[in-house]
Chain A
Amino acid sequence: MKNHIGRGRRSLAAVAFIGASALALAACSGSSDSEDSSTAAGDGGESMTSSDEFTYTGQTSNTLIAATLESLEAGACAAAADGTPLVTDSIAAEQWDQQLQVLAANDALPAMQMAPGTPSLMTEWIEAGLVVNLSEVLADLGVEGAVLPAAEATLKQLYQSDDLYALPTEYNIEGFWYNKALFEDAGVDVPETWGDFVVVAETLQAADIQPLSASGTEGWPVTRLVGNYIFRSLGADAMQKVADGEASLTDPEYVEGAEAVAALGESGFFGPAPGSIDYDTAMNQFLTGGAAMFYMGSWALGNFNDESQNQIGIDNIGYFPFPEVEGGAGSIDETPANAGVPVMFGAGAYTDDIGEWVACIAQNYGDVALNEAGQVTGFEITDAPAEQSELTTMVQDQIANATGSVLWFEAAFSPAATTVSQTNGGALAGGNLSGQEFMELVQAQNG
Chain B
Amino acid sequence: MDTVFRNRTATVVMLLPALAIYTVVMVIPILWSVTYTFQAGNAISGFEFVGFDNWIKFFGDPTAIDALWFTVRYALVTTVLQVAVGYGLALVYIFFLQNKSPLVRTTIFFPVILPTVAVALMFSRIFEAAPTEGPVNTILQWLGGDLTDFLGTPSYAFWVIILMDVWRSMGFYGVLLYAGLVEIPQDMMESARIDGAGTWKLIRRIVLPMSLPVLLSAVIFSINGTLKVFDSIVALTNGGPGSATTPLTLYMFRTSFAYGQYGYGSTVAFVLTILCLLVTIFIFRSMRRDVTES
Whether B242 contacts A441 by the Cβ 8 Å rule is yes
Set of chain B residues within 8 Å of A419, measured between Cβ atoms: 254, 258-259
- Distance A34 CA – B33 CA, assembled complex (angstroms): 31
- Distance A426 CA – B154 CA, assembled complex (angstroms): 12
Q: Mark B240-261, 1 if CB is under 8 A from A, else 0.
A: 1111000000000111011111
Whether B128 contacts A105 by the Cβ 8 Å rule is no
Whether B152 contacts A415 by the Cβ 8 Å rule is no
In the assembled complex, how far is the CB of residue A4 from the closest CB belonging to chain B, in whole angstroms? 28
One of A97, A273, A430, A433 near B258 (C-beta < 8 A): A97
- Distance A431 CA – B121 CA, assembled complex (angstroms): 25
Set of chain A residues within 8 Å of B153, measured between Cβ atoms: 432
Cβ of A285 within 8 Å of any chain B Cβ, yes or no, is yes
Whether A272 contacts B45 by the Cβ 8 Å rule is no
Whether B260 contacts A415 by the Cβ 8 Å rule is yes
- Which of the listed residues B45, B152, B261 has the most CB atoms from chain A within 10 Å of its own CB? B152
- Distance A424 CA – B239 CA, assembled complex (angstroms): 11
In the assembled complex, how far is the CB of residue B239 from the closest CB belonging to chain A, in whole angstroms? 7
One of B42, B147, B253 near A272 (C-beta < 8 A): B147
Whether A416 contacts B151 by the Cβ 8 Å rule is no
Whether B149 contacts A430 by the Cβ 8 Å rule is yes
Q: Mark A93-112, 1 if CB is under 8 A from B, else 0.
A: 01001100110111000000
Interface size class of A (residues with CB under 8 A): 35 or more
**A residues 285-310 touching B (CB-CB < 8 Å):** 285, 290
Cβ of A128 within 8 Å of any chain B Cβ, yes or no, is yes
Whether B260 contacts A101 by the Cβ 8 Å rule is yes
Please give me the residue from chain B that is nearest to A105 by CB atom: B43
Whether B240 contacts A290 by the Cβ 8 Å rule is no
How many residues from B make CB contacts under 8 Å with A?
31
**A residues 81-124 touching B (CB-CB < 8 Å):** 94, 97-98, 101-102, 104-106, 121, 124
Set of chain A residues within 8 Å of B128, measured between Cβ atoms: 273, 276
- Distance A124 CA – B130 CA, assembled complex (angstroms): 39
Q: Mark A273-285, 1 if CB is under 8 A from B, else 0.
A: 1111100010011
**B residues 40-78 touching A (CB-CB < 8 Å):** 42-45, 62-63
Whether A124 contacts B45 by the Cβ 8 Å rule is yes
In the assembled complex, how far is the CB of residue B128 from the closest CB belonging to chain A, in whole angstroms? 6
Cβ of B238 within 8 Å of any chain A Cβ, yes or no, is yes
Whether B258 contacts A101 by the Cβ 8 Å rule is yes
Cβ of A331 within 8 Å of any chain B Cβ, yes or no, is no
**B residues 109-132 touching A (CB-CB < 8 Å):** 124, 128-131
In the assembled complex, how far is the CB of residue A158 from the closest CB belonging to chain B, in whole angstroms? 18
- Distance A281 CA – B258 CA, assembled complex (angstroms): 25
One of A130, A216, A285, A424 near B44 (C-beta < 8 A): A130
Whether A98 contacts B241 by the Cβ 8 Å rule is no
Please give me the residue from chain A that is nearest to B246 by CB atom: A423
Tell me the interface secondary structure of chain B in the complex.
Answer: loop
Set of chain B residues within 8 Å of A98, measured between Cβ atoms: 253-254, 257-258
- Distance A284 CA – B254 CA, assembled complex (angstroms): 30
Cβ of A414 within 8 Å of any chain B Cβ, yes or no, is yes
Assess A121 versus B243: contact at CB under 8 Å? Given A104-B44, A277-B130, A427-B152.
Answer: no
Set of chain A residues within 8 Å of B129, measured between Cβ atoms: 272-273, 276
Cβ of A197 within 8 Å of any chain B Cβ, yes or no, is no
Set of chain B residues within 8 Å of A432, measured between Cβ atoms: 152-154, 241-242
Whether B152 contacts A273 by the Cβ 8 Å rule is yes
- Distance A414 CA – B258 CA, assembled complex (angstroms): 10
Assess A125 versus B44: contact at CB under 8 Å? Given A275-B152, A441-B242.
Answer: yes
Whether A128 contacts B130 by the Cβ 8 Å rule is no
- Distance A445 CA – B45 CA, assembled complex (angstroms): 19
Please give me the residue from chain A that is nearest to B61 by CB atom: A444
Please give me the residue from chain A that is nearest to B133 by CB atom: A272
Q: Mark A256-273, 1 if CB is under 8 A from B, else 0.
A: 000000000000000111
Whether B130 contacts A272 by the Cβ 8 Å rule is yes
Tell me the interface secondary structure of chain A in the complex.
Answer: helix
In the assembled complex, how far is the CB of residue B116 from the closest CB belonging to chain A, in whole angstroms? 16
- Distance A105 CA – B44 CA, assembled complex (angstroms): 5
One of B131, B149, B260 near A290 (C-beta < 8 A): B131
Set of chain B residues within 8 Å of A414, measured between Cβ atoms: 259
Set of chain B residues within 8 Å of A424, measured between Cβ atoms: 241-243
- Distance A97 CA – B255 CA, assembled complex (angstroms): 12
In the assembled complex, how far is the CB of residue B167 from the closest CB belonging to chain A, in whole angstroms? 20
Assess A275 versus B44: contact at CB under 8 Å? Given A290-B131, A423-B243, A424-B242.
Answer: no
Whether A276 contacts B130 by the Cβ 8 Å rule is yes
Whether B259 contacts A426 by the Cβ 8 Å rule is no
Whether A416 contacts B152 by the Cβ 8 Å rule is no
In the assembled complex, how far is the CB of residue B223 from the closest CB belonging to chain A, in whole angstroms? 28
Set of chain A residues within 8 Å of B260, measured between Cβ atoms: 101, 121, 124, 415
Assess A427 versus B258: contact at CB under 8 Å? Given A272-B130, A272-B147, A281-B131.
Answer: no
Set of chain A residues within 8 Å of B239, measured between Cβ atoms: 423
Q: Mark A7-23, 1 if CB is under 8 A from B, else 0.
A: 00000000000000000
Assess A275 versus B254: contact at CB under 8 Å? Given A281-B131, A416-B259.
Answer: no
In the assembled complex, how far is the CB of residue B231 from the closest CB belonging to chain A, in whole angstroms? 13
Q: Mark B141-165, 1 if CB is under 8 A from A, else 0.
A: 0000001010111100000000000
Assess A276 versus B151: contact at CB under 8 Å? Given A424-B242, A433-B242.
Answer: yes
Set of chain A residues within 8 Å of B124, measured between Cβ atoms: 276
Set of chain A residues within 8 Å of B240, measured between Cβ atoms: 275, 423, 426-427
In the assembled complex, how far is the CB of residue A370 from the closest CB belonging to chain B, in whole angstroms? 32
- Distance A124 CA – B45 CA, assembled complex (angstroms): 7
Set of chain B residues within 8 Å of A426, measured between Cβ atoms: 152, 240-242
Please give me the residue from chain B that is nearest to A276 by CB atom: B130
Assess A216 versus B259: contact at CB under 8 Å? Given A128-B44, A272-B129.
Answer: no
Chain B interfacial positions (CB closer than 8 Å to A): 42-45, 62-63, 124, 128-131, 147, 149, 151-154, 238-243, 253-255, 257-261
16 contacts between A and B (CB under 8 A): A105-B42, A124-B44, A124-B45, A272-B129, A272-B130, A273-B152, A275-B149, A276-B130, A416-B255, A416-B258, A423-B238, A424-B243, A430-B149, A432-B154, A433-B242, A441-B243
* Given contact pairs A105-B44, A277-B131, A290-B131, a sample of 17 additional A-B residue pairs in the complex whose CB atoms are under 8 Å apart: A98-B254, A128-B45, A271-B130, A273-B151, A273-B152, A275-B240, A275-B241, A276-B128, A276-B151, A276-B152, A277-B130, A415-B258, A416-B261, A419-B259, A423-B240, A423-B242, A423-B243
Task: Give me the 8 closest cross-chain CB pairs, A-B, nearest first.
Answer: A275-B152, A273-B129, A105-B43, A273-B149, A273-B130, A98-B258, A416-B259, A98-B257
